[in-house]
């Protein structure tokens, strides 16, 4: 056990330039489906992305994540087939007005992205009682999503695009990636170099849905109370 | 609908200095319980944090989040009392060996942090069928967690610490913040200026749990298959 006093270090605000870099990553990050370049992702770059993910906050320092790095064309083809099946089911759920636009949208880049990555959550890691997880059992899943977002922002800084594909039947992912029952596939990501990104979210560009006014989403001290 | 070609913009890697700033935020971010300064958080700074959260990825561009900003001392006191009650329940779940260390840990800064923030997920936003949420209903919660992580990293760059408190009974948060049934409280955050942070996660510093070797968490093409 380290002495607390020796572990504390000065931690003020970043310089203006550093601060702008963090916001640049946040504001220019996109969910990428079509802009992936075939150029391979260097092992050292992928390692940095995974290390960024591994430094996410986690409930009780549980670190419940694993990273299944997919580069094999057979696994990609199986995942693509699982997507195609699920996407047909999804399409049928939209009413006539939206279905045509839905069908026109490209929603994944499984085959084009040099790297696919499944980030999972091991719900048994570190034992049955986890600090901070006693009252909300899903906080381990939340930790895993924080890892996804860390990776996504690091990828933006590295010039890599990331697309999160969520249109799968859970049983298909489990079977293709051979996941044990106690492990949940939280995110299936397509990763590759990009030279261009949309200047706004693609679903906004394509007319699917607009960005909400942030101020309309903020309340003061209780739900519904305006500032 | 905007023409796709006009929306695409050059988006290569960041400069080395910008890249390092993004990684600095990721690697030096901490879950803060004890380092909050009483200095108030400027409205403009809080606005930037909320805007960073609002630029998280969201399933089907659903933007399911709301932000309940808590500065009132009565609401904070009620949340603190809810924490104390839940934490006693939590403590009782740990075996003799761990309980003493658990009790010695400070797990929240509700009263000391000038701003508390509840980030919620409105599960009905944008209607019953949401693009990308057809096969995993929890993807709206995942989007909300991405917003938390965006805010957390932006806060680090601003010199603000963030602590995520998850030891509450759901019914208490709902009642104190008057949340409607269709809204889920995903994260309860304590936010304030800091001048010092631990150089490693506090739970590691205090001997609760060690960081795992990242390489042991990575598989290739299927669960359990080493690179």
Nearest of A117, A94, A128, A87 to residue A186 by alpha carbon? A117
- Give the dihedral sign, CA B145/A186/A63/B95: positive
The answer, yes or no, to whether residue B118 has pLDDT greater than 50, is: yes
Cα(A44)–Cα(A82) distance, rounded to whole angstroms?
30
CA distances for A136 relative to A116, A141, B188, B201, angstroms = 30, 10, 12, 21
Q: Which chain B residue has its CA at the smallest distance from A13's CA?
A: B159
What average pLDDT score do residues A88-92 get? Answer: 98
The answer, yes or no, to whether residue B17 has pLDDT greater than 70, is: yes
- For residue A219, the model assigns a pLDDT of 98
Cα(B22)–Cα(B157) distance, rounded to whole angstroms?
9
Mutate to test the interface with B, among A135, A192, A201 (most CBs of B within 10 A): A135
- For residue A1, the model assigns a pLDDT of 42
CA distances for B195 relative to A18, A135, B158, angstroms = 17, 31, 11
The answer, yes or no, to whether residue A6 has pLDDT greater than 90, is: no
The answer, yes or no, to whether residue B160 has pLDDT greater than 50, is: yes
Q: At B138, phi and psi to the nearest 5? A: -90, 0
What average pLDDT score do residues B63-68 get? Answer: 98
HSE-up (13 A, CA, CB side) for residue B162: 25
What average pLDDT score do residues A189-196 get? Answer: 98
Tokens 């600090």 locate to A131
Q: Which domains does chain B have, with CATH numbers?
A: 30-200 (3.40.109.10)
The answer, yes or no, to whether residue A114 has pLDDT greater than 50, is: yes
Mutate to test the interface with A, among B31, B60, B68 (most CBs of A within 10 A): B68
- For residue A81, the model assigns a pLDDT of 98
Residues of A whose CB is below 8 A from B76: none
CB–CB contact A211 B134 (8 Å): no
Residues of A whose CB is below 8 A from B221: 68-72, 75
CB–CB contact B195 A11 (8 Å): yes
Give the H/E segment covering residue B122: strand B115-122
The answer, yes or no, to whether residue A100 has pLDDT greater than 50, is: yes
- For residue B12, the model assigns a pLDDT of 93
Token representation of residue A152: 């996504």
Task: Give the whole-number percent of chain B exceeding pLDDT 90.
Answer: 96
Cα(B67)–Cα(B188) distance, rounded to whole angstroms?
10
- For residue A227, the model assigns a pLDDT of 81
What average pLDDT score do residues B192-202 get? Answer: 97
DSSP alpha helices (H): ranges in A55-127?
73-91, 96-104
What average pLDDT score do residues B107-118 get? Answer: 98
SS3 state at A98: helix
Q: What is the ipTM of this complex?
A: 0.97
- For residue A96, the model assigns a pLDDT of 87
SS3 state at A158: helix
Nearest-CB residue to B167 (from A95, A135, A204): A135
């Amino acid at each position: 056990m380290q002495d607390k006093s020796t572990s504390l270090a000065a931690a003020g605000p970043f310089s203006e330039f550093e601060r702008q870099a963090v916001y640049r990553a946040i504001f220019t990050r996109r969910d990428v489906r079509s802009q992936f370049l075939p150029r391979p992702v260097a092992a050292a770059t992928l390692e940095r992305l995974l290390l960024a993910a591994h430094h996410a906050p986690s409930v009780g320092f549980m670190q419940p994540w694993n990273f299944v790095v997919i580069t094999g064309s057979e696994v990609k083809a199986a995942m693509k087939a699982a997507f195609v099946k699920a996407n047909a089911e999804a399409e049928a759920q939209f009413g006539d007005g939206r279905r045509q636009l839905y069908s026109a949208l490209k929603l994944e880049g499984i085959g084009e992205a040099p790297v696919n990555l499944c980030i999972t959550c091991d719900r048994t890691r570190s034992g049955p009682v986890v600090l901070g997880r006693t009252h909300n059992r899903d906080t381990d899943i939340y930790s895993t999503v924080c890892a996804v977002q860390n990776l996504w922002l690091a990828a933006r800084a590295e010039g890599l695009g990331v697309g999160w594909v969520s249109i799968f039947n859970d049983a298909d992912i489990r079977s293709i990636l051979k996941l044990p029952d106690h492990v949940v596939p939280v995110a299936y990501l397509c990763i590759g170099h990009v030279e261009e990104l949309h200047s706004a979210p693609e679903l906004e560009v394509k007319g699917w849905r607009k960005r909400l006014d942030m101020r309309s989403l903020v309340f003061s001290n209780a739900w519904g109370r305006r500032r």
